[in-house]
Amino acid sequence: MVVYDFTGRHAVVTGAGGGMGEAIALALLDAGASVTAIDIKPRPASLASHDDRRLTFAQGDLTDAVFVERTIGAAGRERGGIDYLANVAGVLWFGRDKSALEMDLDVWDQVFNINLKSFVHTARAVVPQMRAGGRGGAMVHFSTIQWYRGDPKPQDAYQASKAGVCALSKSLAMQLAGDGIRSNAICPGMALTPLQARWDTEEKRAAVANYTPLGRIGTPQDMANAALFLLSDAASYITGVELAVDGGLLMRM
């Protein structure tokens, strides 16, 4: 197992109320970081036992720019700056999110506000603090391998917003390289998180696992492992890339 040391560093993690964001927040805490965890959902039990001297959990709406700026601004002042940002919050609304030719465009706007615009809010709040700290920083933004392909059963708002995440990440990487701030995207494949409640039987999970070249469904910990690598100094010469963490699924696409 790879061991990272984030002692003395401060990370902001969105979507930390469950799934991948929760796993990343826990992994950073276990590696010694201080974490400001943000989600519209309440603080999960897994984070309840962590020392509040290194963990702040803020419950609120990431589409609210005022809330994001106030929360991240206060966190940076309290913790002496911000070193990392993990943009993990997102929604996948089966049934409501479908073909752009027929879906309710209010739903389209809501998905984009959560999956993409909220990432802009957090970046705008974090980057000035990273610059002011003078030691650079790193960001990782969660997309999906789904944006690489079409789908006969589309979730077009999800797919298009996640493509935008990769474009935003690459643009930030170019803009901020001179400040020593890195920006990368992670594109998960099929992962067992609360977003995938449709895989609710052993038979369904087995079928998904068998379709994946590595023969299993991904886990939140798989995504946390990738995120910690990209945030860490071990990835100090990596910026502007999209890392597929998909068990080889892109080879089937």
Supply the DSSP string of 116-131, one letter for each residue. IIHHHHHHHHHHHHHH
Query: Would the pLDDT of 195 be above 70?
Result: no
For residue 237, indicate whether it is catalytic. no
- Give pLDDT tens digits for 212-224: 999 999 999 999 9
In this predicted structure, which of 59-68, 108-117, 183-192, 228-237 has the lowest mean pLDDT? 183-192
Average pLDDT of the chain, as a whole number: 94
pLDDT value of position 48:
86
Reply yes or no on whether the pLDDT at 200 is more than 90.
no
Q: How far apart are CA 37 and CA 21, in angstroms?
A: 8
Question: Does residue 6 come out as left (phi exceeding 0), alpha (psi in the -120 to 50 range) or beta?
Answer: alpha
Q: How many CA atoms lie within 13 A of 99 on its CB side?
A: 5
* Helix (H) / strand (E) containing 27: helix 19-30
Q: What's the predicted TM-score (pTM) here?
A: 0.94
Q: Where are the domains of the chain?
A: 10-245
What topology does CATH give the domain 10-245?
Rossmann fold (3.40.50)
Strands in 21-175 per DSSP E? 34-39, 55-59, 84-87, 137-142
pLDDT in tens, 137-170: 999 999 999 999 888 889 999 999 999 999 999 9
Helix (H) / strand (E) element for 243: namely: strand 242-245
84-87: strand order across its sheet = 55-59, 34-39, 10-14, 84-87, 137-142, 181-188, 242-245
Residue of 4, 84, 148, 158 marked catalytic:
158
Task: Report how far residue 71's alpha carbon sits from residue 94's, in angstroms, rounded to the nearest whole number.
Answer: 31
Which pair of structure tokens corresponds to residue 54? 């290194």
User: What is the C-alpha separation between 43 and 39, in angstroms, rounded?
Assistant: 8
Total count of residues recorded for the chain: 253
* pLDDT, tens digit, 9 for 90 and up, residues 32-91: 999 999 999 999 999 987 878 999 999 999 999 999 999 999 999 999 999 999 999 999
Q: What is the pLDDT of residue 134?
A: 94
Both tokens of 228, joined, read: 């910690």
